[in-house]
Each structure stands twice: as structure tokens, then as C-alpha cells.
Structure 1
Amino acid sequence: MTTYMYGKPSPSKDNRNQRGPPGTSMPITPATIARLRPARVFQKAVDPAPPSDPSAPHTITSLSFDNTGEFLVTAGEDEAFRLYNCRQGKLVKPFWSKKYGVDLATFTHKSTTILHASTKEDNTVRYHSLHDNRYLQYFKGHQRRVICIQMSPVDDTFLTSSLDKTVRLWDLRSPTCRGLLNLPRAPVVAYDNTGVVFAVALSSPPRIALYDASAWDTEPFLSVELNDTQLAQRAFPPRVPVVTSLQFSSNGKWLLVGTAGEVHYVLDSFNGDLLARLEGHQGLERGKHPGAAADIVPRRGISGQEVTFTPDSKFVISGSHTGRWHAWDLLNKEETMSGALVGKEQEVRTVLPSFGLEGHSAPVRCVRWNPRFAMMATAGEELAFWLPERKFEPPRREERERRPSGDVRMDGR
């Protein structure tokens, strides 16, 4: 599988502090997005559930690229996590965690170690070595299931949040919790691209708070309620979607609030203003099956990684219950009026997708863009690697004469 690089890996020892692509040999443009095609589809990326299993069919629950973009790790409801080589487009090795289950598999700053949450037995976060298939550390403290794991972009600390209504700070080198936030409802968390600030989001009603990462004993320096007035115009009482994810844009300007419903939000990361509503997809709170109806009461559903920024902050990409994925062009002048996201002095604009492509026969539960290559991964009941389609270019005469008969690269040259 040929991948096209749009940013060069950092020369640092472990590729830390990567805050977006330092180079653009292939910039991400509307044409790049429109030309994306599935280059590899792994139909057996998760083992099928037995007929007696009420949770059937099994799906992939999380995706994580390493800092170099060379590897991808998935977690699935079959209690396994799998390592893939992105350059070669192949499965490297499956790993099993039948005793504890696995969710939220997340690379650390090394390509050989990951963190993952447990789904059975206890609520421990486990630090695993892919090199020799053993656990290096256990992080115990959460009393209910962990729903978010976020590595710091600058060091070996990480955040976890749980249904026990807490956020905890950890260090890979110690099993002891270094910081604790007690909150009124179950939170999701995200670091900004400098590691100086982290955001916490609560649901019912949605509220976003920003904290100084070096001052855990202080109140948030910004706290705003996400007030979507358009929801009240459609139903009474308003059907407020559950917040399932947070992500800062790589340029530091925006905060993406993902939900289990049929709207995502883009906020100003400095003052918390609501800038845009992203609609046009079908939320995952409907359940696993395409024909399922939406619940009357909003719930977390099976979502959490279904929406993401591209590394250049220009696009937001989301999965959908229909099996399609959708892309919103945040800087499209026709979509966002001034060519930039609108501020609170203007009416908040509802932005519809610029693109929507068929990808899967079942809901697209996870979407992630490679941090170093022009490549996207989507997952649900199967895993797909997407690359921009290139027009066929016949090999030059000297290359045809030099190559053996039939030796043609996959990129057509």
C-alpha cells in the first residue's frame, strides 16, 4: 500500500511535541478529501460474536496512531487489540485480553507501548508492551468504567476519566494517582496541543471547563455552558445529545465537542464561544444496527471516537450510523460566511458536510486521521485504510525499459 506523506517525522528521539505537520508535500485540500478511497479493508479486524451474545455483532471501539504514523492499534469488543503497519497496509499481530477486556487502546510516545482500559473484572488502566507482550504497569483508582484516556503531548503523564465522575492524572513511571478531580457528572477530557491546558466536558446540560494542567488544586479558569438554542426549536423538552469526546485543533484555536447525537460543535478554545454546529450525519446513539430508532432519552451509545479534526485543523470528519463518513470544511467561505468560523456577534451557523462517502455496511464507530501521512482510518465491524486516489500516470520510457515485465507499483508509476 502506497502512502503519501504530508509531514516529515520529527527528528527527536521519541517524536514528542508533534503539534501538526511541519511540512506539506501533500496538503489536505477539498480535492484530497474527495479523492479518498479505501486502499485496504480488513473484514476480519474483529472476531464475530457468538449467536448467543446479546451484544452481537462485535465492533472495533477505538483507533490510535503512533506519533510517527507508521503504526495503528485497534481495540475491539472481541477482547483483543491489534497492531497494524500503515505503510505496508497489513496486520502485524493480534493481542488478547480475555480476562480483563480491552477498550481505548492508546499509544504512548513510543511505538512499542500502549495504554488501554479494562471492560471486565476491574476498572484498571493497563500499560502494555507490544514488543514482548507483557504489562509494565497498572493504574488503579477508578471505581467505574474508564471512558477516556488522553496522553500529554509533551511528557509521560496522561489523563483518564470515568463513569465514577472523576478525572485522574497519572505518570507512566508510577502507579500512584498524581491528581484527582471530583465532578458532578461523568466527564470526558482532552489536552491542548501544548500540554499546558486540559478541557473537561460534562453532559446534561453540556458544560465545558478549561483547567491549568500545572494547578490541579484550583478552579477552572474558564467554564461555559454549551447552549444550543436550535434544539429547543425542534423538540420540547430539547433533546440534548450526550457529549462523548473532546479534541483541540492543532492550531490551538478551536475545541471540537463530539456527541452521540446528530450534531457536533466547534467552540473557540480561548473564550468558549460556540462557533459552529456540524450536522448532516446520523448519530451513533441509535445503536449498532442501521434500522434502529433513536432512543427517546439521550445516552452515551457506542460512540466516543467517531469524530476528529484533520491534522491541519481545516476539516472535521465524522462517522455515521448509516455507514458513511462525512467531512466538514471549516474554512469554506460558502459554508462559514466569512471564510472563518463565526463568532458570537453573529448567529451560530449550522454547517452541513462538504463531502460524504460510503465506507461501511454498518455504523462507522471510529474515525482517525494519520498524524504524518495523507491517510485516514475508519472502523466499525471492519477496518478500512483510506488514501487519496491518484490518476494513472504511464511509466516513463526509461522506467519501462528498466523494469521487468509486469513490475508496476501500486501508485501507477
Structure 2
Amino acid sequence: MAPHPNTSNGGTPNTLQLNNQLMTKLKPAKAFKNAVEPAPPPPTLPNQNPKPPEPRCITGISFDDRGDTVVTAAEDEAFKLYSCKNGRVVKTLYSKKYGVDLPRFTHKSSTIIHASTKEDDTIRYHSLHDNKYLQYFRGHKGKVISLEVSPIDDGFISGSNDKTVRLWDLRTQVCRGLLSLPSPPVVAYDPSGIIFAVAVNPYARILLYDQANFDKAPFLTIHVDDPGLMFMTFPPRQIYITSLSFSPDAKLILVGCSGAGHYILDAFKGSVLAKLEGHIGLERKSMSAPQTIETAKGISGEEVSWTPDCKYVVSGSLDGKVFVWDMQNLPQLNEAERAAKFVPRVQPIAALEGQPGPSRCVRFNPRFAMMCVAGTGLGFWLPDTSPDSEESARDLLKKKGTT
């Protein structure tokens, strides 16, 4: 159940059940086209025509626990707070000295942690109320590329280009745990906060650890294996994992990848249940950029996420669209298909028209029936519940073969 931000009856939220029809009717209700300050023009030589600067993008977004506020971090070294209830900018803050990336709300709506992009690789604990740093978490010797807050307490976890995972607590600046890995890791907590996952590229391995015994071997190692890739290119392109997220019911793991496919895993057995296709991966920065031969992160990592009821996965795309996949009826494999490690391809139920440029960050509000989509700008998306939109949504679902 997801309450709609619009209210009636004295301010009581209207409760909406997310379904296929509603998800196909999500539209931008509020757009912030100037959410990121433009870059200065690049230097030019005498008698040379000036080149327009590349547009700056929002690189990360995070909702607070109540879904009332969203914070964004951008390439202009600013982070902004927006009210999800009235669709307004609440505050703009800057981190020109250190840069800002991977903003994550703590369990207080007045504080965040974030990674740095300049000066050093320190993680910073910031008070949004009085614009002060409360704590510095030093230890990483490379850029922090993955950062997640524990769902149950003041702990958080980070992965860095220095090939380490560090476990932290907001109450002390000393790292409480360290894992060394063969390559830069991507991290995620399960909803209980007891288990965390670590993805390691280029091996396409996901390691699951018990947080109380993180210094021991992982209790489950998952190989994200997709034999179908060998029929697409030769040699087959490697899977490059850029994000991990457990479903809110902890049964599935969403593996976000930089290429044109994300994967759904069984969190208990480790088997690959489906590949989500249809979007254009964010290995490049724009549609005009040349395609890469080798797999790389590109600008991906924040573009794919769950809805809070586990029913859908939403993802951005290089062409600016937002794709929606239905997770309620994943294909069931027979014994022969399971033995052959066959990976079903799942097509989206909707490709929603978005914004110019890549849909670089896509997150669904944890409490309200709204979605935030960010790239060069920021959009608040709500379901269009007008009668005309219901008829068009039904037509779209019929074309998709969904009832």
C-alpha cells in the first residue's frame, strides 16, 4: 500500500495500491529543469570558436525514512533538499571543497552521510539543519563508489576503489570492520540489517556475509551467470555490476548492471531468476558518445530500484525513458532449463517518456505513490488518475499482453 501525496478529507492521505495500470500512468508532475548549475565554458584558443560546456547531472538521490524529503547530489558540487509533499526546494547547500556524491539519509531526516569527490576519500556526516559536518570517517585510500546505511541502526557500509569494504558506526569515527577484495566492491544491506552483500567485478560474484561474522568466509557465494550472452557477441561481454539492492521482503536481489540488462536473483538459493531487458544501459554518458567495447561502469549505479511493495522494478535509460518491470509473475523454469542455467528474458510493461538526456537516477518514494527521476534535471512523478489516462493505460497493457 502506498499513500498518494495529494490529500483530501482534512489532510488524510489517499491510499493507492500499486498495480500495472497505475504504474503505466506515472507522469512528471513537477519538473526542476535548473536543478544543476551549468558548467563554465571550457577554455578556448585565440580565433577558436567556443565550445558549449557539457551539461552537468545529478549523480545521486536519497529519500528520508518517512518519504517527506529527498536529497540530491550533483556534479556542480551542491546538494539540494526537496519537499515531497509540496514539490519545492527546501534548501541548497554546497561542498565546493570536498565535492559530494552518494548522499544517504541517516535515520534522522536532518542528517546525511556522503562520499567525497575531491581533496580526499573521506566519508562525511553532515547536518542539514545547520550546515555543519558532525563527523569524518577516514580510512579509504580510493574513491568511495558504494555507500549504504543500515536499515535498523546507526551502522553503515562503504565500498571503495581501494578494493576494500569498511563497516562503520555513526557514533565513532574508527572503522569497525574491514574486508579486502580483489577488485572495487559494490555493497548492500538486506532489510534485516543482519546480512550484507558485496559484488565483485569483473568476476560477476556476489558474496553474502553475516554482519556478526564478517571476518569469516561468506556464507553464500553467487555467480551471476548468463549463458545467453555467448549468443549475442563473441567473445561474450562481461557482466559489470554497478548496484545491489534486496527486495523489501528480502526474498530477491536486484543486480543493477551498466549494460543493457539487470538481473533478479533468488536471495536464498543464489539462482538467477530473470534478466530485465528493454532499456539502454548507462555505460556511456550520452546517446552521442561512442559505444565502448570493454564493459565499464559509465554513469550507472543509481538508475534502478524497487518499488516499496516489491511488485515492480523501475530503471532509467540512456535515452531518458523510465522502464517498469512486473515482478509478480516471474517465469517458472522446468528442470531441464534450470540444469542448463537458462535465464528468462523479461520485457518491461511500460517505457515511460522521461526527460532529455539520460535518466541517471530513479528512486521510488518509500511511503508515497511517487517516483523521482534525475539527470540534468529532477522530476517528481505521480500516477495520472484522470479518466482519459485510464483508457490509454488499458490500451497500452493490452498491447503488452498484460491483463
Same fold (TM over 0.5): yes
Equivalent positions of 1:12-411 (< 5 A) are 25-52=15-42, 56-286=54-284, 288-332=285-329, 336-338=330-332, 344=338, 347-391=342-386
Deviation at 1:347, TM superposition (A): 3.2
- Unmatched 5+ residue regions in structure 2? 7-12, 44-51, 389-403
Q: Quick one: which amino acid aligns to residue 180 of structure 2?
A: N
Whole-Å separation in 2 of the counterparts to 1:375 and 1:55: 32
Q: Quick one: which amino acid aligns to residue 81 of structure 1?
A: F
8 Å contact kept, 1:274–1:343: no
Whole-Å separation in 2 of the counterparts to 1:350 and 1:189: 25
- Unmatched 5+ residue regions in structure 1? 7-22, 394-413
Output one character per residue of 1:330-386: Cα deviation in whole Å (capped at 9) or x when no partner: 124xxx3459xx993573210011100111110010000000000000000000000
Whole-Å separation in 1 of the counterparts to 2:81 and 2:338: 44
Output one character per residue of 1:124-177: Cα deviation in whole Å (capped at 9) or x when no partner: 000000000000000000000001111000100000000110000000011100
Whole-Å separation in 2 of the counterparts to 1:238 and 1:293: 19
Is the partner of 2:16 in helix, strand or coil? coil
Whole-Å separation in 2 of the counterparts to 1:102 and 1:210: 29
8 Å contact kept, 2:41–2:53: no
Q: Quick one: which amino acid aligns to residue 189 of structure 2?
A: Y
Whole-Å separation in 2 of the counterparts to 1:358 and 1:177: 44
8 Å contact kept, 1:117–1:126: yes
Deviation at 1:328, TM superposition (A): 0.5
Q: How many percent identity over aligned positions?
A: 52
Q: 1:224 to 1:52 in 2, by over 3 A?
A: same
Whole-Å separation in 2 of the counterparts to 1:148 and 1:27: 32
Deviation at 1:55, TM superposition (A): 7.7
8 Å contact kept, 1:201–1:208: yes
8 Å contact kept, 2:227–2:342: no
Whole-Å separation in 1 of the counterparts to 2:85 and 2:16: 16
Whole-Å separation in 2 of the counterparts to 1:263 and 1:344: 20
Deviation at 1:5, TM superposition (A): 5.4
Deviation at 1:227, TM superposition (A): 1.1
Q: Quick one: which amino acid aligns to residue 231 of structure 1?
A: L
Give the total of aligned pairs: 369
Deviation at 1:206, TM superposition (A): 0.5
Alignment of 1:4 onto 2:1: no
Whole-Å separation in 2 of the counterparts to 1:46 and 1:314: 32
Q: 1:31 to 1:232 in 2, by over 3 A?
A: same
TM-score by length of 1: 0.86
Q: 1:51 to 1:387 in 2, by over 3 A?
A: same
Farther off after superposition, 239-248 or 176-185: 239-248
Whole-Å separation in 1 of the counterparts to 2:74 and 2:178: 29
Q: Quick one: which amino acid aligns to residue 370 of structure 2?
A: M
8 Å contact kept, 2:29–2:379: yes
Deviation at 1:51, TM superposition (A): 1.8
